Amino acid sequence: MPSISKIISSIELNSKILERNFTFEITRQLNSLTEIATIKIKKDYFDVNNISLSKRDKIKLYMQIDNEENKEIFSGIIFELYSTKAEYYILAESELSYSFAQEISAKSYVDTNVSTVLGELCEYEIDPELNISLKRFIIYPGQKRISIKSLLNTLESKKIYYFIDKKLHIKKDLNGKIYNIDKFLVRQEGEKLTIFPYPKLTLADRVLLKEKQYKINAIRLTNRRFILEVEDDN
């Protein structure tokens, strides 16, 4: 068993901090421009705290493991709210993911490169070898997401990986850290690994389980467990 003895999750909503009577699920996927969080809060607890929420309000989720620093694991914008007799449901999109829905005006580039165009669209990090020259590129009017996908398509001849957190990361190789999760494993079901929370993990990292290395394709974060979708990296 892992040495974790205490997991504390909290939500920040309109300057109020909630530390109990809720669950959440955050989904992160490799080669996706979307990151969504679903939060359920017990209705009586929500009401007692006099919380007032609207669409487009900000929300933050934090997690602290034992005596480690309280780590922000999600910061986003609410896009849907509804309730049942027992619970309030909040659906939020990460701030970067949400910004991809913003409308932009047309713009044309000649003799440019990928980084120059990306700079018009979002915060980014790109491996130098992927910053290729572009004879011509057009940003069409509409959502930013459309132009970003078009730009990523210009790199389709190269094998690339991309994912989002505070930035859009475009990588030739997933060269993050390697974490041994032997002591964190709860169960293994084929290529799905359920582990105790490990907030340091990113989609650029790999995990080592019983001396076998895996690439992470998706991470589902919940209050008590992280669920990893992986594939053999050997």
One domain, residues 41 and 125: no
Q: What range does the domain containing 77 cover?
A: 7-99
Distance CA 78, CA 95 (A): 10
One domain, residues 22 and 64: yes
pLDDT(95) > 70: yes
Q: Tell which residue, 183, 190, 186, 233, has the closest CA to residue 210.
A: 183
Asked if residue 48 belongs to a domain, the reply is yes
**What mean pLDDT is predicted for residues 22-33?**
96
Q: Which of 76, 99, 122 delimits the end of a domain?
A: 99
Q: What is the structure's pLDDT at 47?
A: 87
pLDDT(41) > 50: yes
One domain, residues 73 and 128: no
Are 55 and 108 in contact by the 8 Å Cβ rule? The answer is no
pLDDT in tens, 52-64: 899 999 999 999 9
Q: What is the structure's pLDDT at 71?
A: 92
| φ, ψ (nearest 5 deg) of residue 94 | -55, 155
Q: How many domains is the chain partitioned into structurally?
A: 3
One domain, residues 95 and 108: no
Structure tokens at 171: 């990588």
Q: What is the structure's pLDDT at 4?
A: 64
One domain, residues 11 and 62: yes
Residues 6+ apart with CB under 8 A from 91: 36, 37, 38, 39, 78, 79, 80, 81
pLDDT in tens, 168-226: 999 999 989 999 999 999 999 999 999 999 888 999 999 999 999 999 999 999 998 99
Asked if residue 78 belongs to a domain, the reply is yes
Which CATH number fits the domain that encloses residue 184?
2.40.10
Q: What is the structure's pLDDT at 105?
A: 92
Asked if residue 209 belongs to a domain, the reply is yes
Cβ count near 224 (within 10 Å): 11
One domain, residues 11 and 80: yes
pLDDT(3) > 60: no
Q: What is the structure's pLDDT at 5?
A: 65
Q: Which of 45, 71, 99 delimits the end of a domain?
A: 99
Q: Which residues share a beta bridge with 153?
A: none
pLDDT(135) > 90: yes
pLDDT in tens, 137-159: 999 899 999 999 999 998 877 88
Q: What is the structure's pLDDT at 25?
A: 97
